[in-house]
Amino acid sequence: MPKVKRQKKEPVIQTLSPVIYSQPNNNILYVMMGVITLFLVFMIVKVISLEKKLGTTSTGTVPQVQQESPLSVPNLKKYAKELKLNTGKFNKCLDSGEKKTLVDKDVAYGQSLGVQGTPGFFINGQFLAGAFPFALFKEIIDKQIAGTSSSDCTTYSTDLQKYCSDPQNKAFDPVAKETDVKNMIAIGPENAKVTIVEFSDFECPFCVRAYPTVKQILSEYKNDVKLYYKQFPLNNIHPNAQKTAEASLCAEDQGKFWEWHDKIFELEAK
């Protein structure tokens, strides 16, 4: 009987995840194509929505930020009417740009004191830059009232020391600077122990954040603190700040600066 020649077994070679790495079938391809299509449609809708929000079109129209802002000139005139100002005088004042020189003068004065951004506060000359919580203002004010203020950073709490210990980044500078408050817009008692000079921008989100703190200071220290307001619009990033600052001075001509001030910041806070 002839011998049957056995076939040599080929070694079994294991492959890594053949199902995962195999060629995808048609159903998977269709699903993938559907997902990609839906994503592209979603992105197109988002772009169109964003263009409408910014006031742009496919033809490259400049964004109409100024017209749509709550601080646009037409809206500023509307607020003047709501505050029962003489709108004829107010509109003429705003349109003429007659207050621009005064606003620019405030900015130049702030820069001479070292102000670079907003809000910036000089508390009896001690500089605090930013929308800090009430507690830090309170510490500085209380020391001023008690007569224990110091130009030495280490005499303040560790919270404040964080902002005055780095000479390259002094958000709090305890070395007082002399500030000229003559002819400044102010609110508070004449014989106040503490004067706060605030450099602010009506369109600045940090100034909006600081507004409730300023109101709290005036409420809790109504017999001891006098607040002076200085214009410091950051025109390079806030396109409506300059005209809003001018508008506040037009309102001041009719004795309603602080009503204007509160209305704008409360409006911006919404």
Residues 83 and 189 in one domain: yes
In a domain, 5, yes or no: no
| CA-CA-CA-CA torsion sign (113, 111, 90, 208) | negative
HEC assignment per residue over 46-79 = HHHHHHHHHCCCCCCCCCCHHHHCCCCHHHHHHH
Q: Answer for the pair 185, 253: CB distance below 8 angstroms, yes or no.
A: no
In a domain, 45, yes or no: yes
For residue 244, the domain's CATH number is 3.40.30.10
Q: What is the C-alpha separation between 174 and 128, in angstroms, rounded?
A: 9
Residues 169 and 242 in one domain: yes
**Position 214, amino acid:** V
Residues 48 and 84 in one domain: no
In a domain, 86, yes or no: yes
In a domain, 141, yes or no: yes
Residue corresponding to tokens 């009506």:
202
Tens digits of residue pLDDT in 138-161: 999 999 999 999 999 999 999 999
Residues 124 and 28 in one domain: no
In a domain, 62, yes or no: no
Residues 80 and 45 in one domain: no
Q: What is the C-alpha separation between 99 and 91, in angstroms, rounded?
A: 12
Tokens for 253?
Answer: 């001509």
Number of domains in the chain: 2
* pTM score of the predicted model: 0.75
Q: What is the C-alpha separation between 77 and 231, in angstroms, rounded?
A: 19
pLDDT higher than 70, residue 14: no
SS3 at position 170? coil
Tokens for 141?
Answer: 């004010």
Residues 185 and 149 in one domain: yes
> What was the pLDDT predicted at 130?
96
Residues 94 and 211 in one domain: yes
Computed over every residue of the chain, the mean pLDDT equals: 85
Q: What is the C-alpha separation between 136 and 177, in angstroms, rounded?
A: 19
Residues 199 and 95 in one domain: yes
Domain limits for position 132: 73-269
Residues 30 and 113 in one domain: no
SS3 at position 36? helix
The share of the chain scoring above pLDDT 90, in percent, equals: 71
In a domain, 206, yes or no: yes
Q: What is the C-alpha separation between 160 and 167, in angstroms, rounded?
A: 14
Which residues sit opposite 31 in a β-bridge? Answer: none
Residues 97 and 43 in one domain: no
> What was the pLDDT predicted at 25?
53
> What was the pLDDT predicted at 205?
97
Tens digits of residue pLDDT in 37-82: 666 656 665 545 544 444 433 334 444 444 569 999 999 999 999 9
> Strand ranges (DSSP E) for the chain?
120-123, 126-129, 172-173, 185-187, 194-200, 225-231
Tens digits of residue pLDDT in 176-194: 999 999 889 999 999 999 9
**Position 52, amino acid:** K
Q: What is the C-alpha separation between 143 and 130, in angstroms, rounded?
A: 20
Q: What is the C-alpha separation between 86 and 40, in angstroms, rounded?
A: 54
> What was the pLDDT predicted at 107?
97
Residues 48 and 151 in one domain: no
Residues 135 and 196 in one domain: yes
Tokens for 209?
Answer: 């954040």
pLDDT higher than 90, residue 244: yes
Q: What is the C-alpha separation between 261 and 211, in angstroms, rounded?
A: 10
In a domain, 243, yes or no: yes
Instruction: Say which residue, 240 or 68, is predicted with more confidence.
Output: 240
> What was the pLDDT predicted at 37?
66
In a domain, 64, yes or no: no
Cβ atoms < 10 Å from Cβ of 120 = 24
SS3 at position 228? strand
